[in-house]
Amino acid sequence: MRNEEIKVSIIMPVYNVEKYVGRAIESIQNQTLKEFEFLIVDDGTPDRSGKICDRYAKQDSRLKVIHKENGGAPSARNAAIDIAKGEFLYFMDSDDWVEPTMLQDMYDFAKKNHSQMVIAGFYIDTYYSDEKYVTSDYRVPTSVVYQSQSEFRKNAYKLFDRNLLYTPWNKLIERAYIMEHEIRFPNTFWDDFPFNLYVVRDIERVSVMKQQYYHFIRARAESETAAYRDNMYEKREEEHQWMVDLYKYWQIRDSRSLEMIARRYIERFVGCIENLTNPKCTLTYKEKCATIKKMLKNRWVVWSLKRARPKSKYMKLMLLPIRWKNIWLILLEAKCISFVKSRNVKLFALLKAGR
């Protein structure tokens, strides 16, 4: 296939996914759109994932496997961006899978509407046993084409609210736009979010599809209990500042956008408190109390509590101990969340999706 015939470059980093990567590759091979290149980056994986990818590549010339030393998902994706030839870029995780018409539908929608970026709905399939799982839908009511940059910016809060702007794998992005603005994945934990903020910062032509194609697999029950990070609070603060900076750059200060930012902050603040009661947290009870007391003094907490309008009754209840600044109740609530998170993955997934 000549370079000019490649419509989409699919980029997928691979690391320790030998149980899943075959399904991911086959879901791309089964796409109704055939004019693609599939850039698979073996990021120094210690398992058989790289060899599995090589075996598929020998049978399909559209697949190219790049073997490199381990440097993390950002470096793997960036290595593929640098050599991609497609008109559009699509980013995929190697333990997920996609519906067969995804690329064709998104490509056609992009061309029809002269879009620099197409956003689609997706599923999160949370497995609570080997075969049983609960699906959370992330969709939009109707497809929409934003006619101008300002229209997209004014309505971006709706997309953030539906979790449609946080991940790269529900988007088709024009490669020329990525190259012109020199956008790459930053070398940081949770690199998806800043990458997407870079993308939307100056984008002009955006369209959204109501269809859902991508299946994000939360197939490892232990991943919910292994999520403890001693720097989670600092990381969430950094992310919040990125969001604030974006809206300052956009000069968007309407009440609905500010409410979304406030609600987003306070929901993640609850997650940071729960992080302290994770079984892997080694802080003493006294140290946890001192940490929470310090966190409550953050000016963004007061700002967010004044503006946030939680959508569910249980989220409103969860915010009460924070409003009261009752550290004992806050810790008790966090322990309850940790208990549900570790003992009932199904319930936790339902509550998280409905918050």
Residues 6+ apart with CB under 8 A from 303: 262
Mean local confidence (pLDDT), 126-148 = 80
> 103 and 54 in contact (C-beta within 8 Å)?
no
Q: Half-sphere exposure of residue 281, counting CA atoms within 13 Å on the CB side?
A: 24
Tens digits of per-residue pLDDT, 36-84? 999 999 999 999 999 999 999 999 999 999 999 999 999 999 999 999 9
Q: Which residue has the tokens 């934003």?
A: 146
- Residue 93 main-chain phi, psi, to 5 deg: -95, 145
Give 129's pLDDT tier (boundaries 50, 70, 90). low
Q: Supply the pLDDT for residue 222.
A: 44
pLDDT at 338 over 90: no
Q: Supply the pLDDT for residue 126.
A: 77
Q: Supply the pLDDT for residue 225.
A: 38
pLDDT at 243 over 80: yes
Mean local confidence (pLDDT), 31-38 = 98
pLDDT at 266 over 60: yes
Q: Supply the pLDDT for residue 132.
A: 67
CA pseudo-torsion sign 120, 204, 194, 245: negative
Q: Supply the pLDDT for residue 354.
A: 64
Tens digits of per-residue pLDDT, 139-156? 777 999 999 999 999 999
Helix, strand, coil share of the chain (percent; to 5): 50, 20, 30
pLDDT at 110 over 50: yes
> 214 and 98 in contact (C-beta within 8 Å)?
yes
Tens digits of per-residue pLDDT, 5-16? 999 999 999 999
Mean local confidence (pLDDT), 268-282 = 93
Q: Which residues of 209-242 are buried (b: 16+ CB within 10 A; e: fewer)?
A: bebbbbbbbbbebeebeeebbeebbeebbebbee
Tens digits of per-residue pLDDT, 188-230? 888 999 999 999 999 999 999 999 999 998 764 444 434 678 8
Least confident window among 259-268, 308-317, 341-350? 341-350
Q: From CA 246, how far away is CA 160, in angstroms rounded?
A: 13
Q: Which residues of 286-300 are buried (b: 16+ CB within 10 A; e: fewer)?
A: eebbebbeebbeeeb
The chain-wide mean pLDDT, for the chain, equals 92
> 33 and 7 in contact (C-beta within 8 Å)?
yes
Q: What angle do CA 147, 148, 153 make, to 5 degrees?
A: 115
Shortest CA distance to 103 belongs to which of 52, 158, 173, 39? 173
Give 176's pLDDT tier (boundaries 50, 70, 90). very high
Q: Supply the pLDDT for residue 224.
A: 40
Least confident window among 55-64, 74-83, 239-248, 271-280? 271-280
Residues of the chain with pLDDT > 90, as a percent, come to: 81
Q: How far is CA 129 from CA 66, 105, 197, 351, in A?
A: 34, 33, 35, 18
Mean local confidence (pLDDT), 272-299 = 95
> 36 and 103 in contact (C-beta within 8 Å)?
yes
Q: From CA 347, how far away is CA 4, in angstroms rounded?
A: 48
Residues of the chain with pLDDT > 70, as a percent, come to: 93
Tens digits of per-residue pLDDT, 152-172? 999 999 999 999 999 999 999
Give 135's pLDDT tier (boundaries 50, 70, 90). confident
Mean local confidence (pLDDT), 309-322 = 92
Shortest CA distance to 180 belongs to which of 157, 151, 202, 165? 202
Within 215-254, where are the H helices? 232-250
The residues that bridge with 14 in the sheet, in sequence order, are 42
- Residue 207 main-chain phi, psi, to 5 deg: -130, 155
Q: Supply the pLDDT for residue 221.
A: 44
